Amino acid sequence: MFTRTESFREFTRLYPIVSIIIAIHLGLYFLTILPIFPNLWFFENLSGVNLYIMEGDYWRLLTPTFMHSGFSHMLFNSFSLVLFGPALERMLGSGRFLFIYLLSGLIANIATLLLEPLTYTHVGSSGAIFGLFGYYIAMIIFRKNMMSKQNSQIIITICVISLIMTFLQPNINITAHLFGFLGGFLLGAIPNFNKKELSDSIQSTANWAGTKKKSISFQSPMKTLIWAVIIILSILGFLSQR
């Protein structure tokens, strides 16, 4: 469920929203390092700055979700989305997945505005990614038949580690992490959220995954090790939100 075996073309076709978000991450990052805009224009105009939001820059409640403080921050958050976004996009459909992702990020940024000082500045997609984790946890609690026990254990373990590290790492937007997670959880807990369609989509995902089983079974130990390293780096990366 969380191991990617698709080619680049298959990935972009099956998970268009995840692909578009990652493309935005890359595009904005390269625009911040190219010498075509003076004085870090994108950071000055798209970062989450509470004072500027209070003065009317309301777009800053959303745009920080796509901005990152550096290459490693952007890369690891994008890895996190590659690992944990596709399964949910496949299960929910592109429209609902985008709604959950953006709303979780928005909730995280609104909470940051309300609870952090006016001088507080932040960027990063961690709030939205924690929203995906929250949604997964809601599925595990309220729709136990929709995820296997193994995948549920993986998500729970990663969530626990991530939430603990949120309080241990310096320069973390703790508010965004917690409220992004809470937002995703509440969205996932909504009863009768197109439950039949979701079940059909999950069954479709399971059937599609079955066609990939042969290729997965022939993965080398080295490839498995590489994916384990990527998962660990991804967790550390989205915990570095400023």
Catalytically active residues, by annotation: 126, 177
Select from 202, 242, 233 the least CA-distant residue to 83: 233
Quick one: 233 exposed, middle or buried, by C-beta within 10 A (0-12, 13-18, 19+)? middle
Phi, psi of 192 (to 5 degrees): 55, 40
CA gap 181, 159 in Å, rounded: 9
CA gap 37, 27 in Å, rounded: 14
- Both tokens of 242, joined, read 């400023």
* Total count of residues recorded for the chain: 242
CA gap 202, 88 in Å, rounded: 9
Select from 1, 3, 239, 242 the least CA-distant residue to 129: 239
Query: E strand or H helix at 48, and its extent?
Result: strand 48-49
User: How many C-beta atoms lie closer than 10 Å to residue 90's C-beta?
Assistant: 21
**Residue 36 half-sphere exposure, CB side, CA atoms within 13 Å?**
6
Contact 47, 64 (CB under 8 A): yes
